[in-house]
Amino acid sequence: MMVGFRGALTPEILDDWRQHQYGGLLVVNENANPDPAGYIQQLRGLSRHRLLAATDQEGGSVCLDLAPVPCEVGAREVAGGGAAAVDGEMSRMSAALKAQGFDVNLSPVADVWSGGNPFMRDRSYGMDPAQVAADVTAAVDGVHAAGLLSAAKHFPGHGAADGNSHYLLPTVTEDAATLEARDWPPFRAAAAAGADFMMVAHLNVPALDPSQPTSLSPAVMKAVRERIGFKGVIISDDLQMVGLTSQVPAPEGAVRFLIAGGDMVIVAHDPSVYQATWLAIKQAVDEGRLPRQRLDEAVQHLLALRPTQ
């Protein structure tokens, strides 16, 4: 589990971390502390295993508001400078994150914008799959050059969705052939470049699974492994987003994500929600609903991540 909380690092939060030993810390602007380096180290000192500290530093509109970490231009703008510009920008931002104690930059965005709903327009490197694939490769290289882990997002492709999954469950109406030809080349490029995580979005994509969101779908997880060729950690988008919670509560979503083949869940904001999620996962294992072998497989994917500290 990768979790985040609002406000100060209280004694209650510290006690909870001692007990539950979460695998990751997510820091975003809604829950950022003025001194993330300090509390990353505090929580790392409580951990009996590797703790992955992460944020989203894409550039443009998606940046951590922290003075020592530059927020450079967004993907759409930097793409005009070619792959070298993408690599350099991502390397500079990621190096500043590493100096603050972070392990993971949850970038790059690998979505190909369709020209429709504007939500992903500025966060995408463009509308041409080959060009976006080249820029995603450069971005992964830039994150790695800074010594951080990278995460390609948001599979199976948010660029043609009809809305923002923070506020609803968006629909992608394209057929499977279009998804494979237009949306998936950048994800294949990310996998080939050694991206460490692949983030699965909360989307309704009937061509892949007509019955449930992509983040709960075994068919989508199978596509990540077999059609994309990704060997690393499959991570969820935030389980507190309305794209998921409009369908199932976060704790149940976490269990179904892991059963489907995912490896790590994000619960971004509230201790009460991530504590309930921890208990739901434990109960699912105890009852045999989530096979222990599946949980162990997920942990092995995390243990195989390259070192950063």
Query: According to the model, what pLDDT value does residue 156 have?
Result: 97
Query: According to the model, what pLDDT value does residue 35 have?
Result: 77
Model pLDDT for residues 3-35, shown as the tens digit of each residue: 998 877 889 999 999 999 999 999 988 766 667
Catalytic residue among 237, 238, 263, 301: 237
Q: State yes or no: is 166 an active-site residue.
A: yes
Residue 52's φ and ψ, nearest 5 degrees, are: -95, 115
Of residues 195, 86, 91, the one with CA closest to residue 138: 86
- Tokens matching residue 121: 């327009």
Catalytic residue among 128, 166, 269, 270: 166
Handedness of CA 65, 69, 72, 78 (dihedral sign): negative
Query: According to the model, what pLDDT value does residue 286 have?
Result: 97
CA–CA dist 158, 21 (Å, integer): 32
CA–CA dist 234, 103 (Å, integer): 16
Query: According to the model, what pLDDT value does residue 308 have?
Result: 86
Spans of the chain below 70 pLDDT: 31-34
Q: State yes or no: is 158 an active-site residue.
A: no
- Tokens matching residue 29: 């602007």
Of residues 198, 197, 223, the one with CA closest to residue 208: 223
Query: According to the model, what pLDDT value does residue 67 have?
Result: 84
